[in-house]
Structure 1
Amino acid sequence: MEYEGQICRSPMERGSFSLPVTVGCCYNRCYFCDLFKHLRYRELPLEQVEAELRRVSGMGADPKTVFLGDGSAFNLSSERLTRILAMIHKYFPSCRSVNMDATVPSILSKTPDELRALSENGVRRLYLGIETGLDDVLTLMNKCHTQKQAYEAAEALQRAGITYDAHMMTGVAGRGRGTENAGALAEFYNKTRPGRITNFSLFIHKETPLYDMVRRGEFSPADELENLEEERALIERLEVPAAYDGIHDFVPFRLRGDLPSEKESMLRKLDAAITAQRKKPQVFAVA
């Protein structure tokens, strides 16, 4: 398989077949992200997409789940997505689920009829970056949507029968605002009911605009202790049934479980991690 750039997908898609249909991210202006800065966004030719499907099918593969890459494949027009879905079902007759990353604007750009048609043709899950529940933080991070628009997108997907999974980042609101952000996120998730929540705790890379904001004193990062405390505040407030996966780069801790059935055990693990971290020097996920 030819894949330009690095493969970026949710850990929930580790068993899926990755099919590139675009290169890069259609937005690519979030201040915290460096994943696609070196790439020029473009749609791959349908002939190239079909050639890859034909190659894999010819090897005897028939995956049940396909993940469309790259960073925001749902930005493709409904017509183009429908053509790709038809090809997937032609070469992979056992496929029952086609998933991909999406942006809020890419959802809102499609009509209710288009969303329903995509659902009927196999689109099952969209991964949405709902990193924060605070509008001022969305603005600070130069996200491409408001909280109101995020609610509208989640509602549109629900009506179409498409599940959305949320990507979030503890620490994104900055020092001293972890509990506030946890409360706002819990409120959003409890109302919109994502199927899964993945926490990629904020890592500030030196090649991002956010790193420059830290250097200029325009953003004060939370340390990893506060990130763990924010994660605990979120889990404690969540009422929605969802799978949760929390990943931290700078502390040796990962939290996974099903809500609400495993909430108490998850809170105990967080309490232990927080107690241990309080005994250590401050650690900031900045490099």
Structure 2
Amino acid sequence: MLLNHAQGMVFRPPSEANSFILRITLGCSHNACTFCAMYRGIQFRTRPLEEIRCIVENAAQRSPDIRRVFLGDGNALVLPTKKLLSILAGLREAFPKLTRVTCYGGPKDILRKTPEELKALKEAGLKIIYLGVESGDDEVLAGINKGVGAAEMVAAGRKVLAAGIKLSVMVILGLGGKTGSYRHATGTARVISHISPTMLSTLTLTLYDGTTLKEAADRGDFLPLTPYETMVELKELICHIRVANPCIFRSDHISNLLPLAGVLNRDRDKMLQEIHEILDFLKDKHNG
């Protein structure tokens, strides 16, 4: 459910398809990743509390039984904790059946929060933070202008988990191109292993018009992976992940060639078998 009276497209994780999407910020405060076209052309701003309250009241009148809320847009945690706590309190009051609130979290925004602030947000109802790790390789992260390195990604992820908030991590297959594929896969696996998130999902790189990475590909400076090479990269990623706790794995985004589902480390062999089957199917076409 969405009551959207503001500029720009609305984005949310696949698992939030049935959530009420409450845009407490518009756009993305970073908005500089070379691959991302989600918030291009949208001037970032934070919504005043009164504006947010009006949207919530309107939603409560229409759908008082809302159970899930996703806080948009790109990085809701950029807001001061006091304001976030006020929003969460308003949601609890407006929706008596509310079971969870979730949001995207930028790594820098997470690192700026104190452990006490994150714990307070958890107690107020923030159940899941979605963290776009994208890659665990420092060279790839620098190339896409993510603004942080692998060590900061690990620190941000662990900080969320230490507060008792579930962590859903997203990574992007193909982000290192042909030359950096293996380094991207193994570096990302290393970061995921160090974080040991609650959930992990993969997306496959899509080159969007108007992005710096698409322009680099058009010039020949960035060489995208073929479907076969993407599957090889996925295989290397899963092969190298060793999480300390069970991690729900999904590749259910529309960009992915192969939908996979399982629990790491438990279902590694099963998922690798599925990947090998599609690699066999793609092999002749790739070699030809």
TM over 0.5: yes
Counterpart in the other structure of 2:4:
2
**In 2, are the aligned partners of 1:72 and 1:102 still within 8 Å (CA)?**
yes
String of CA shifts for 1:198-241, please: whole Å, max 9, x gaps. 11111111211111122333322222211111111112222332
- Structure 2 gaps of 5+ residues are none
Structure 1 segment 85-234 matched on structure 2, within 5 A: 85-234=88-237
Counterpart in the other structure of 2:25:
22
Q: Give the aligned residue type for 2:94.
A: Y
Matched positions, count:
282
Task: Tell me, yes or no, if structure 1 residue 62 matches structure 2 residue 65.
Answer: yes
**In 1, are the aligned partners of 2:203 and 2:256 still within 8 Å (CA)?**
no
- SS at 1:279 equivalent: helix
CA 87–248 in structure 1, closer or farther in 2 if over 3 Å, else same: closer
Q: How far 1:159 sits from its partner (Å)?
A: 2.0
Q: Give the aligned residue type for 2:41.
A: H
**In 1, are the aligned partners of 2:25 and 2:73 still within 8 Å (CA)?**
yes
Q: Distance in 1 between matches of 2:267 and 2:20?
A: 30
Q: How far 1:250 sits from its partner (Å)?
A: 6.8
Counterpart in the other structure of 1:285:
none
Q: Greater CA deviation, 115-124 or 22-31? A: 115-124
Counterpart in the other structure of 2:53:
50
Counterpart in the other structure of 2:42:
39
Q: Distance in 2 between matches of 1:104 and 1:135?
A: 14
Q: How far 1:251 sits from its partner (Å)?
A: 6.9
String of CA shifts for 1:161-202, please: whole Å, max 9, x gaps. 112211111110110432322222122112211111111111
CA 27–51 in structure 1, closer or farther in 2 if over 3 Å, else same: same
Q: How far 1:279 sits from its partner (Å)?
A: 2.3
Q: Distance in 2 between matches of 1:251 and 1:71?
A: 21
**In 1, are the aligned partners of 2:131 and 2:170 still within 8 Å (CA)?**
yes
Q: TM-score, normalised by structure 1?
A: 0.92
Q: Distance in 2 between matches of 1:134 and 1:251?
A: 21
Q: How far 1:39 sits from its partner (Å)?
A: 0.7
- SS at 2:173 equivalent: coil
Q: Distance in 1 between matches of 2:33 and 2:80?
A: 22
- SS at 1:55 equivalent: helix
**In 2, are the aligned partners of 1:176 and 1:222 still within 8 Å (CA)?**
no
Q: How far 1:106 sits from its partner (Å)?
A: 0.4
CA 270–150 in structure 1, closer or farther in 2 if over 3 Å, else same: same
**In 2, are the aligned partners of 1:53 and 1:91 still within 8 Å (CA)?**
yes
Task: Tell me, yes or no, if structure 1 residue 264 matches structure 2 residue 266.
Answer: no
CA-based RMSD: 1.9
Q: Distance in 2 between matches of 1:103 and 1:70?
A: 11
Q: Which of 258, 262, 271 matches 1:253?
A: 258
Q: Greater CA deviation, 143-152 or 273-282? A: 273-282
Q: Give the aligned residue type for 2:269.
A: E
- SS at 1:218 equivalent: coil
**In 2, are the aligned partners of 1:201 and 1:247 still within 8 Å (CA)?**
no
